[in-house]
Every structure is written in C-alpha cells, then in structure tokens.
Amino acid sequence: MLKLAALVGPTAVGKSEIAIKIAQRINGEIISCDSMQVYRGMNIGTAKVSPQEQAIVPHHIIDIVDIEYYFTVAEYQSLAQELINEINQRDRIPIMVGGTGLYYQAVVDNYSFYPMESHKGIRRKLQRQAAEKGLQHLYIQLIDVDPDYAQRISPQDEKRIIRALEVYELTGKPFSEQQKREYNAYNLAPVGLYLERELLYQRINHRVDIMLSKGLIDEVKSFRERGYGLHNNAMQALGYKQVLYYLDGLMTYGEMVEAIKKETRNYAKRQYTWFKRDKRITWFDVASHSTEELTEKICAHMEGLLSKV
C-alpha cells in the first residue's frame, strides 16, 4: 500500500514551517493541499511559501494554473494521486500540507466523482436568484436540501452553493451523497495542528496585517489592471475579494481590514469543523511545544504509522 503523510489544520496555525522541517527529517516531498495556491501570482494573499522555502524540499501543486482557469477538486485529486505514486516510487514520503478540507478528503478517501455536466438553464436560474434575492436566499435552500454540505462551506461561497443546488435539481439527491468514498486508500499518517481560539485569532489578525504591509493591495491591483475580477473564481479568495471591494469604493480601508480578519476567522472555524470529523487525524497543540519538539513528536508519530504494512 502506498504511503501518505498529511499535515492539516486551520489557516495561520503554522503548517508550512513545520512541514518543511518534517519533510527534511523523514525524506519527504510536500504536496500542497490549498485550493488557492494553485494560481500563479496569488502569492501574498495566499501566504504562499517563498521560492527559497520551496528550494529546501520539493513542493508540488503550487503555481500551476493562471487566474482565469477554473481549477476543480477532481483535477486536484488526479494530480495529487499521480504525485503520490511517483514520490513513493522514489522511496520518499509524500506529505499533503494545507487546509482545504475537500481536497484532502478527495485524495485520502479516493472520492469517486460522478461526471456531471453543468446544466446552463438551472445554473442561470440560480445565478439570477442570487442576484435578485441575495446569496443568503440560496444558502437557506441548501441548508434545507443538504445540511451536511451547507455546514462544510462558507455562506459566501457562491460557486459551491450554486453547484450543490444544481446537482440536487438534476439528481434529486444531496451533493454530499454524490461522492463515493474508499476508506484506507493509503497507508495514511494524518496529523492536525491546532491552537486555542484566542491564540489562533491573534495569529490570523497579525497575518492579515503582515499581508497588507507586504503589498496585498498592489497584488490585487495588478490583477484588476489585467481585467481580472470577481467573475474569476480565484478572485473570490479570502482577502482578494475584500480588497476588490475596497478598490471599487464599496468599503473603507478599515472596513476592508476588519472584513478580511473576520472572514478568515470564520474560515478557520469551518476548517476545524471539517477536519475534526476525520477521527484518523491525531492533533498536536502548537503552543505546547517548541518548534523542534513539535517536529520530533510529529515525525515519530508519522514514522510509526507509515512503518506498518
């Protein structure tokens, strides 16, 4: 059985730094598990690892598509599974690192995605409802027909809300039931990082301040000047959307900053909710250990699981 380690958890908990140290210790290669780091040029707002960090150990599925491309979870799954095979063949350990729960689950449980073409008529009807009645109207519909999936996604995630309602109209079944799972697809060693809420929120607020000081607004401006905007799925990402609102005069600077921080905190809650459902994940408290101690404990835990036949 192919080996696969994973390091997951909420945004700003410190996954990237620890992951590099783990990869160095266990002869690993990192497979990014972040739905926005696939996009070229989205560097500051996604807290993408720097080229210098990427040079320390191999990183994969970062900077692979342009902003206008609509990248799907099925494409991620295919790329990740191919990499897992290749890395195992090199006698190295693939380590999935990130916080996009659906991407993680699609790989570790080998989801079978039902091929289903978009129905333009249904999609346009739902988009019209969102424009006329507000996205909350559609989200309430989703809660009614598929509460499990509604709990996992943001009430602001128009793309996924519309897709889930579209699939329900086409099949009569909840979107959450459209994905078959294959447990034990890999010899899996999953680890989660967590921080107490107040500590995590402090980190999130600080990270947003750092992103803005590094030039997040200029990064978004450069995309806007090239014709990209909220019609592009990638620009719906946390931080980017709020900066676009600010640039369009729909928010003051202070409102933008607070909106990014609040949405990021809410996103972290949803990440915890998603990953806590997977009882295979062993959690480590970041605040209870030095970086070195944490790295040693996680490596020992992963190696113990991966050594099993």
pLDDT tens digit sequence for 189-206: 999 999 999 999 999 999
3-111+181-306 and 120-179 share one fold: no
Tell me which CATH code domain 120-179 carries.
1.10.20.140
pLDDT tens digit sequence for 112-165: 876 556 677 888 899 999 999 999 999 999 999 999 889 888 898 888 899 889
Residue with tokens 């996954």: 15
Q: Once rounded to an integer, what is the mean pLDDT over residues 36-51?
A: 97
**Is a pLDDT exceeding 70 seen at residue 180?**
no
Give Cα 193 distance to the centre of its chain.
15
Cα 243 to Cα 231: distance, rounded to the nearest angstrom: 15
**Is a pLDDT exceeding 70 seen at residue 179?**
no
* Kind plus residue range of the DSSP H or E element containing 267: helix 253-276
Q: pLDDT value at position 256?
A: 99
Q: Are the C-beta atoms of residues 112 and 179 closer than 8 Å to each other?
A: yes
Q: Are the C-beta atoms of residues 38 and 76 closer than 8 Å to each other?
A: yes
* CB neighbour class for 117 (10 Å; exposed up to 12, middle 13-18, buried from 19): exposed
Kindly report the backbone phi and psi dihedral angles of residue 222, in degrees, each rounded to the nearest multiple of 5, phi listed first.
-65, -35
pLDDT higher at 219 or 177: 219
pLDDT tens digit sequence for 252-272: 999 999 999 999 999 999 999
Name the token pair of 281: 């994940």
Q: What share of the chain is helix, strand, coil (3-state, %, to 5)?
A: 55, 10, 30
| pTM as predicted | 0.82
**Is a pLDDT exceeding 80 seen at residue 232?**
yes
pLDDT tens digit sequence for 63-84: 999 999 999 999 999 999 999 9
Look over the chain and give the mean of its residue pLDDT values, rounded to a whole number.
94
Q: pLDDT value at position 171?
A: 77
Q: Tell me the HSE value of 21 on the side-chain side, using a 13 A CA sphere.
A: 16
Q: How far apart, in Å, are the Cα atoms of 1 and each of 232, 280, 301?
A: 39, 17, 18
**Is a pLDDT exceeding 90 seen at residue 167?**
no
**Is a pLDDT exceeding 70 seen at residue 188?**
yes
pLDDT higher at 171 or 297: 297
Cα 25 to Cα 5: distance, rounded to the nearest angstrom: 13
Q: pLDDT value at position 309?
A: 62
Q: pLDDT value at position 80?
A: 98
Give Cα 247 distance to the centre of its chain.
25
Domain boundaries along the sequence of the chain: 3-111+181-306, 120-179
Could you tell me the CATH superfamily of domain 3-111+181-306?
P-loop containing nucleotide triphosphate hydrolases (3.40.50.300)
pLDDT bracket for residue 182 (50, 70, 90): low
Give Cα 200 distance to the centre of its chain.
17
